[in-house]
Amino acid sequence: MSGTNNVFTQLSGSTPADASISKEHGLAYWESVSADENGMLGGIPTFAGFANTSKIDLQGSRNFLAKFGIGSKPGLRRCKRILEGGAGVGRITEGLLTELLVDENEEGKGPGKVDVVEPIAKFTAKLQGKKGVGKVYVMGLEEWVPEIGEGENKYDLVWTQWCVGHLTDEQLVAYLQRCKSALAEDGLIVIKENTTVLGNDEFDKEDSSVTRGEATFQKVFQKAGLKVVKAEFQKGFPQTRTMKLLPVRMYALKP
């Protein structure tokens, strides 16, 4: 969950914030955190009043997808194949995405699967062999290339959350373009990320990531050839007199 610690650096002059991203530094940070929910959320659940942060986050995501007719409840459609970018230990994989899968699709190709991309091996080890998990790509989003074999379904849903801050703008555009190429006809791409309060891009030295402003996200989506069909802020996160999470926004994208 990049940026949750709010340790930001304003870069002088016209130097873009993403110019300071170091892949090695970012990987070293994530190798140092625990392979559990608390580690994935930057220690936020350990603070008084913030224990339910993950539950609130997942429900907000569930509600957002329901607006596109996607869900596990009666009347909503399930997915044959899902991709999760930056899956970590599977907090979202198991807490949301696998419940959206079909048991059997109409072509008789068996139950749906969630493919995951995650560069930290000790995190992906938690997902190997889990029900509903398909291909596990132990690599960064900037390295991932979709593998759609003959007769295989494309992705009905691509979900990427709290990790694109480790990509430069150029890398993020390229990642989204690859996602678009692997998207099913009526598929949906969702980016759920922290956004800055003042709209400027800010660099976080601790995990070597960037928290982007709204204008930068819009430029990236446009360059990737994607349209924002819906955008909403996550609601309901806890806050105290001394602590408040950054604004988190969900973007639903289509070609």
Question: Does the annotation place 161 within a ligand binding site?
Answer: yes
DSSP 239: B
Question: Does the annotation place 86 within a ligand binding site?
Answer: yes
Question: Does the annotation place 129 within a ligand binding site?
Answer: no
Candidates 197, 198, 241, 206; CA nearest to 7 is 206
Q: In degrees to the nearest 10, what's the CA dihedral of 91, 94, 96, 102?
A: 160
169-181 and 214-223 helices cross at what angle (nearest 10)? 50
Structure tokens at 234: 């996550």
Tell how strand 113-117 and strand 133-137 pair up.
parallel
- Cβ–Cβ < 8 Å for 237, 56: yes
Annotated binding-site positions: 86, 91, 161
Annotated binding-site positions for S-adenosyl-L-methionine: 86, 91, 161
